[in-house]
Amino acid sequence: MISEAVVEALQRFVPRENISLQEPMAGHTTFRIGGPADCFLQLENAEQLKNLRRYLGMAGVPFFVLGNGSNLLVNDSGYRGVILQIGQKMSNIAVEGCRIVAQAGATMAQVARAAMEHGLSGLEFASGIPGTVGGGVVMNAGAYGGEMSQVVTQVNVVSREGEIMELDNGTMEFAYRSSVIRNSPFTVTEVTFCLEPGDRDAIRNRMEELAASRREKQPLEYPSAGSTFKRPEGHFAGKLIMEAGFKGFQIGGARVSEKHCGFIVNAGNATAKDVKAVIAEIQAQVKERFRVELEPEIVMLD
């Protein structure tokens, strides 16, 4: 539990109205799963993040930086520490010629829409990705042949020591669903995109085509964290899961989608324990039958 002294100290860095205690995390993840966090803070700017990271590090208080919660499974018991949310209060988007500068809390869909409205092409693939720009750049999010590494030129981050740094595309070391930030103590605050001029109607039409494809192929009618597993080399996770007989497989409220076996959905009051049990069953059977190890793409927060 977070002590009263820590809560009082946090109020030096963010307004009291931005601080919630024992906040249910189910309301902050697209899985709609997760117990209460000891303390939940909504950040407004990079300066707050810088000061909070420095303080929490010195005080030895565990913390986790949250975006839209679209790739996250929070434990049923919640989180014993501080959640720092970079969301709506840090979501400004500025368009400068062919460049878009977006704060990390802006959603991928919002930035894609801004690009379309200004006749800029290159972010159509991102229009249906549910996460934030910050989370998207960390995991090099992608879909339909596009990914963040193709359009990102600069990423502003805050280091463990509270230092603000600028990383260029090469420094980001983008790889499949990964970047240098994935396993480092950096937190993204702002992302700069470089796009190409395009026809606004053609861009809009392409976004609508991709949206229709998602509705047809993905279980958008249920809460989920998107693709559960990374794509194993030489295979497709969803195909392996289906061939292993897991289509519609369910434990508690967690079910393997009948529409796309690469998704585990919350079919009703699922718990993190349910989801983890389904993941474990799939991993064991796929490894036994196909000698392929499936690695979860979702982040598990205990």
Catalytic residue ranges:
177, 227, 297
Q: CA–CA separation, 155 vs 134, rounded Å?
A: 9
Report the candidate in 287, 233, 232 with the shortest Cα–Cα distance to residue 262. 232
**Largest pairwise CA distance in the chain:** 56
Q: Would you state the structure tokens that stand for residue 286, as one six-digit string?
A: 């796929």
Closest-CA residue to 87 (of 188, 227, 228, 207) = 188
Given a contact cutoff of 8 angstroms between Cβ atoms, the answer to whether 49 and 5 are in contact is no
CA distances from residue 138 to 52, 149, 160, 184, 205 in whole angstroms, order as listed: 20, 10, 16, 10, 28
How far is 290 from 6, CA to CA, in rounded Å? Answer: 50
DSSP string of 196-251, one letter each residue = EE--HHHHHHHHHHHHHHHHHHS-TTS-EEEESBPPPTTS-HHHHHHHTT-TT-EE
